[in-house]
Chain A
Amino acid sequence: MTNLLEATAISKSFGTHQVLSDVSLTLRQGEIVSLIGENGAGKSTLAKILCGIVQPDTGTLTLNGNSLTFSHPREALAAGIGIVHQELSLAENLTIAENFLLGHEPTRFGALDRKTMVSRTREGLARLGLSLDPHRLVATLSTGQRQMVEIARALACQTQLLIFDEPTSSLSEEDSKILLQLVKSLKNQGIAILYVSHRLAEVQEISDRIVALRDGRNSGEAIAPNITRENLIAMIVGREFSDMYGYTPRSHGPEALRIQNFQASEHHTPTSFAVRRGEIVGIAGLVGSGRSELLESIFGVHPPLMGSLWINGSEIRGVSPEVAWDNGLALVPESRKEQGIILESSIRENIILSDRERKSPLSLRDFAAERAQSDSSVESLRIRCTSGEQLTKHLSGGNQQKVVISRCLATNPSILLLDEPTRGVDVGARREIYSILFQLAQQGMAILFVSSELEEVLGIADRVLVMSDGAITGDLSREEASEHAIMSLASPHHKVAA
């Protein structure tokens, strides 16, 4: 059988950052190919090139033997390539039908032809076995339903190739199962599927073939049924699983952080736990299990409903981020660009922003001290930049993350909270961040982090707390913690009915 799609020697760089170099990919009709790789390996960029959102610098694309160049996603769609995005891209304040035909609405005498819109939408939904009312506002749909609408929309044209970009990252387990069924049925209809995911279990379940990327290059390819999980991981990280992290056991000191009967929100169950000095504790769980909210509540972004917070043995009252910083807590937030970094400011101004010694608005700035602080952070965390005066928007994700961590460390915290510390960070920087964390713990810092990547949690945590539906459902030592143990504690149905 000939290839439906051939992407040959694709390269792409953003600024000085080479995202893809010489990547090739083929897909046949009715084949499910999974694209795997670490964050920052170039998976999403490749997917975006195939569907015309991003233009490659060099390389060729052919579909059914015809060469393709897209300057707009519309052209890819017309050629029969659709995409279902990682972040759902429906407009919430419009109806299903309006979203469904957004950009190519049928018109009659120049006005919207609502009747045709609704009937075409109904047909499209029915093809996926959905019976949603096309008049419903998207805002009223569940995440799973939205994804279905999005898939139906991507199939509305004569789609030959459908790309899924991390489709299950925000779905519940049940919705994920439904989605995988749907993907298989699309394959049986002869549609080629490119499935981008880092959930290896899913990938093994549905793929015919698996292609791995690492640092923007092809790093392996395998026929699905014959490959083991270890092989997959080796394809992704290019080395044995263990040396990615370089964990060594440490001794732990007295309690640094304790929460007692602490309820972060009405979706949370009151909970108690402690983190000791020198200890790295990971919080694992599914998206939506309330991990970030718990961390933010400890940090005082949202005050808790009840419970107490103790830092180094004394109780802290009236928490707010200000109070948290004052008491030696520091947070690397989940969303770097929204909550973490000030993109229009320099590295220096980002790093000194939380300085506690000069926190009063009335205090004068000490530029020499600022420069000294930022230079030493740039050096010790190896932030790659032209100088401390460079704007952080010009840095890579990994270096931005190091700037946020530097801001935390500049306040000499005794407790470091991190929410998804390596999201969107490339492999090299990621390893550096792990070694920074180990070093800090060695010096006696208490570290509490949230991560959606199980390998990461297993790789660096001394102890793993598992959250499900707002409750801590497990407290596992490093020896007890395994992917299987965590996943079974993280699944919502595990929770004892209360």
Chain B
Amino acid sequence: MKKNLGLLLLLILACAVTYSLNDRFLAPVNIENVLRRTALFALISIGAAFVITSGGIDLSIGSMVCLVGTLLPWLTTSHGWAWLPSILLLLFVAALLGASHGLLITKLHLQPFIVTLCGLLLYRGITRGLTGDQTQGFGLEFESLRSIALTKISFGGLLPFAIPSVAFITVIVALIASFTLNRTRYGLYLRALGRNEVASRYSGINTDLIKLIAYVICATLAGASGILFILDVNSAQPSDFGNFYELYAIAAAVLGGCSLRGGEASIAGVLLGAALMQVLRNAIVLLDIPTQLEFAIIGGVILIGVSAEEIVRKTARRVIA
């Protein structure tokens, strides 16, 4: 947790600055909005953290969100499928695609960057082809299904704002992920192989299987959050739904202390990283900053965050030595 102190301070600073310039930042409806967006993006970031810990990368997250997210209304609304088999099928497909990434990387020894870059192009292209590039949505149907993502739970007088249901989903997933990384042999193996794959193999770890599972987790979480995203926004265009989401996910993971060299992960850090990014996006809207500048601001803050982290670490090392 000590590792994430800098990130926590940066997050508090961003909130404080935004609030001081526009007090609507702490309006209940805005807090709920930021929480919901954070929860949704945190889900894909947790998946990315697993892959990054293995020393790999997944660039296909955004396209996976699009594939699962737009094909759900395409199956249900346009093709009359029931929602449960549709969701199960799409999650299964996502897991299968994740497994195929893992197989190509471990058995054919292709580089994760290349494999998942092809995934990025393929899944978006396939989705656009299947849907004829038409906007997909639920219209006025599936109200009860959509409430999974839209419900808010208010704690009466205890909190001035309500907590969106997706935040609970994310907290549960984060707890499971954190438990897996820290308390199971899987987490031990994943970290070990991210730090030294050869030595891990010599130690008797089935490194191929451990890596493959990481890609399955990442793709499945991307698919699951694709479902929650589409339930949240109701309709989406296959051409831009989920664009750049993989970069948000990777950025949140890296901000949260995952090293792209592999072997390091902190789920708490990933949550903070995802929150920082959503606060920034929210600030851009609230502070009337031209939205064209959104990427520039997010890019700049990430750069400052990781630089500050590195400087702090170097100074700490010098003080110790």
Contact = CB atoms under 8 A, between A and B. Distances in A.
B192 A345 contact: yes
Given A361-B209, A361-B210, A361-B213, A353 B184 contact: no
Given A338-B199, A344-B263, A361-B213, A353 B188 contact: yes
Given A325-B204, A342-B192, A365 B199 contact: no
Interface string A315-345: 0000001101110000101000011111111
Given A321-B204, A354-B203, A343 B184 contact: no
B201 A321 contact: yes
Contacts of A354: 203-204
Interface string B192-208: 10011011111111100
Contacts of B187: 365
B204 A322 contact: yes
A274 interface: no
A345 B191 contact: yes
A177 interface: no
Interface string B166-205: 0000000000000000011111110110011011111111
Interface size class of A (residues with CB under 8 A): 20 to 34
A127 interface: no
Nearest to A299: B202
A344 B53 CA distance: 13
Contact of A340 (B191, B199, B209, B263): B199
Interface string A353-370: 110101111111100000
A339 to B, nearest CB: 5
Given A344-B195, A362-B186, A365-B185, A353 B213 contact: no
Contacts of B202: 299, 301, 321, 331, 333, 339-340
Contact of A342 (B185, B200, B210): B200
A407 interface: yes
Contact of A361 (B189, B195, B198, B203): B189
Interface in A360-419: 360-365, 407
Contacts of A356: 204
Contacts of A322: 204-206
Interface string A239-273: 00000000000000000000000000000000000
A349 interface: yes
Contacts of A362: 184-186
A455 to B, nearest CB: 27
Given A362-B185, A365-B184, A353 B201 contact: no
Contacts of A299: 202
B243 to A, nearest CB: 34
Contact of A364 (B184, B196, B199, B200): B184
Contacts of B183: 364-365
A263 to B, nearest CB: 22
Contact of B195 (A324, A340, A345, A364): A345
Contacts of B263: 344
Given A353-B200, A353-B203, A361 B186 contact: yes
A324 B191 CA distance: 22
Contacts of A340: 199, 202
A178 B172 CA distance: 69
Contacts of B204: 321-322, 324-326, 353-354, 356, 359
Contact of A321 (B188, B189, B195, B203): B203
Contacts of A326: 204
A321 B209 CA distance: 14
A128 to B, nearest CB: 37
Contacts of A338: 196, 198-199
B11 to A, nearest CB: 27
Interface string A144-160: 00000000000000000
A349 B209 CA distance: 20
A328 to B, nearest CB: 12
30 contacts: A299-B202, A301-B201, A321-B202, A322-B204, A322-B205, A325-B203, A325-B204, A326-B204, A331-B202, A338-B196, A339-B198, A339-B199, A339-B202, A340-B199, A341-B199, A342-B199, A343-B196, A344-B196, A345-B192, A349-B188, A353-B192, A354-B203, A358-B185, A359-B204, A361-B189, A361-B213, A362-B186, A363-B184, A364-B184, A364-B185
Given A345-B191, A365-B183, 7 more contacts: A321-B202, A343-B196, A345-B195, A352-B188, A353-B200, A360-B185, A407-B203
Interface of B: 183-189, 191-192, 195-196, 198-206, 209-210, 213, 263
List the 8 closest pairs (A to B, CB-CB), nearest first.
A325-B204, A361-B186, A344-B195, A342-B196, A353-B203, A354-B203, A322-B204, A354-B204
